[in-house]
């Protein structure tokens, strides 16, 4: 496994790969968990060479405390990746290596996808994601890139990004990996206490309840049900719950049986923000 911290040496290493080699790419912000590893293993199975980037991208954080406290575990990340079998390159750039002297995000119009849910609650977040993913795609030039469905809105936005930027990358969404108690795997889980982990299982339980009741209950009643479940738990704050059209991500008020819906949720456990989602039909 090779590790590059400089864009130039990474580009050089990639340019010396065989011409027909398929390059898979897994962009991450580190603090790797089994969910990331499953993306890397899928990429390794489907490509000749895989690049994993580890970079906590400053422009996608709208809250500086969140950026500061984002878990950073590069040594653990590298030892996890070293255990994998296959042709793997790790790219660990510095902020200055990707942003030079201006740490700014490009302004994107993702056709409205950026204004829903996470976009409403994390101003400028998707401009930051679009900016960094575009930079990374232009450096790595992957054939395929792998993203987890936990960040379902991000996945849809990255699909739109490659169309806008005209990049020849196949975007592959991968199912959410969960802990045994149902909690969606996330780097942010590392910041939760054992008690908070236990309490946070309400997220998965509630999403499951919504899925089970979806065909027989109105969206308005499901919204009320979720609000009530969270009122019973004083340690978790429900930031939003929405049932949205899976394609447009627009909030659904009524069901249309020709459309696909997904439930999306964001919850605060003290200052740790957890998101999750689940297909409903």
**Known catalytic residues?**
36
Q: What's the residue count for the chain?
A: 281
Nearer to ligand PAF, 60 or 277 (CB): 60
Contact between 151 and ligand PAF per CB under 6 A = yes
32 labelled as ligand-binding?
yes
Dihedral angle computed from the Cα positions of residues 241, 244, 250 and 253, in that order, rounded to the nearest 10 degrees: -90
Among the listed residues 27, 35, 119, 142, the single contact to ligand PAF using CB under 6 A? 27
Instruction: Output the smallest distance, CB 237 to ligand PAF, in A.
Output: 23
Phi-psi region of 122 (alpha: psi -120 to 50; beta: other; left: phi over 0): beta
Residues 144/44, Cβ–Cβ less than 8 Å: no
Among the listed residues 40, 129, 274, 278, the single contact to ligand PAF using CB under 6 A? 129
Nearer to ligand PAF, 188 or 229 (CB): 188
Instruction: Output the smallest distance, CB 63 to ligand PAF, in A.
Output: 15
Determine the Cα–Cα distance for residues 116 and 113; give it in Å rounded to an integer: 6
Dihedral angle computed from the Cα positions of residues 218, 219, 224 and 226, in that order, rounded to the nearest 10 degrees: 120
Nearer to ligand PAF, 131 or 206 (CB): 131
39 labelled as ligand-binding?
no
Instruction: Output the smallest distance, CB 75 to ligand PAF, in A.
Output: 19
Instruction: Output the smallest distance, CB 60 to ligand PAF, in A.
Output: 6
Instruction: Output the smallest distance, CB 159 to ligand PAF, in A.
Output: 13
Query: Quick count: other Cβ atoms within 10 Å of Cβ 67?
Result: 14
Near ligand PAF by CB under 6 A, which window of 23-31, 103-111, 196-204, 251-259? 23-31
CA distances for 252 relative to 75, 79, 220, angstroms: 44, 44, 10
Determine the Cα–Cα distance for residues 190 and 9; give it in Å rounded to an integer: 32
Residues 48-77 within binding reach of ligand PAF (CB under 6 A): 57, 60
Give the CA angle between residues 248, 254, 257 to the nearest 5°.
75
Near ligand PAF by CB under 6 A, which window of 14-22, 69-77, 125-133, 220-228? 125-133
148 labelled as ligand-binding?
yes
Nearer to ligand PAF, 265 or 280 (CB): 265
Among the listed residues 10, 14, 23, 29, the single contact to ligand PAF using CB under 6 A? 29
Dihedral angle computed from the Cα positions of residues 19, 129, 165 and 137, in that order, rounded to the nearest 10 degrees: -10
What DSSP string runs through 196-262? HHHHHHHHHHHHHHHHHHTTTS-HHHHHHHHHHHHHT-TTEEEEEEEEEETTT-PBPSS--TTS-EE
Q: Which residues pair with 274 in a beta bridge?
A: 267
Residue numbers belonging to the annotated binding site: 29-36, 60, 148-151, 154, 177, 185-188
Binding site for ligand PAF (CB under 6 A): 27-29, 57, 60, 129, 132-133, 151, 154
- Binding-site residues for ATP sit at 29-36, 148-151, 177, 185-188
């Amino acid at each position: 496994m090779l590790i590059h911290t400089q864009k130039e040496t990474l580009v050089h290493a990639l340019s010396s790969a065989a011409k027909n080699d398929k390059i898979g790419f897994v962009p991450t912000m580190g603090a790797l968990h089994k969910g990331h590893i499953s993306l890397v293993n899928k990429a390794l199975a489907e490509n000749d060479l895989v690049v994993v980037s580890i970079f906590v991208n400053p422009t996608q954080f709208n809250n500086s405390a969140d950026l500061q406290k984002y878990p950073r575990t590069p040594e653990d990340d590298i030892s996890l990746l070293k255990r994998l079998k296959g042709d793997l390159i790790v790219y660990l750039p510095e902020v200055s290596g990707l942003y030079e002297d201006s740490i700014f995000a490009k302004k994107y119009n993702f056709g409205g996808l950026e204004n829903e849910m996470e976009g409403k609650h994390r101003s400028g977040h998707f401009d930051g994601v679009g900016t960094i993913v575009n930079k990374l795609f232009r450096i790595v030039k992957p054939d395929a890139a792998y993203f987890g469905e936990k960040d379902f809105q991000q996945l849809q936005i990255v699909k739109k990004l490659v169309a806008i930027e005209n990049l020849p990358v196949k975007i592959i969404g991968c199912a959410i990996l969960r802990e045994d108690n149902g909690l969606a795997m996330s780097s942010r889980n590392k910041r939760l206490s054992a008690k908070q982990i236990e309490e946070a299982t309400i997220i998965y339980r509630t999403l499951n309840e919504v899925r089970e009741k979806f065909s027989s209950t109105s969206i308005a009643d499901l919204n009320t049900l979720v609000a009530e479940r969270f009122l019973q738990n004083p340690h978790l704050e429900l930031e939003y719950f929405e049932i949205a059209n899976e394609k447009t991500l627009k909030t659904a008020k009524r069901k249309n049986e020709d459309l696909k819906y997904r439930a999306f949720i964001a919850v605060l456990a003290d200052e740790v923000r957890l998101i999750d989602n689940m297909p409903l039909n």
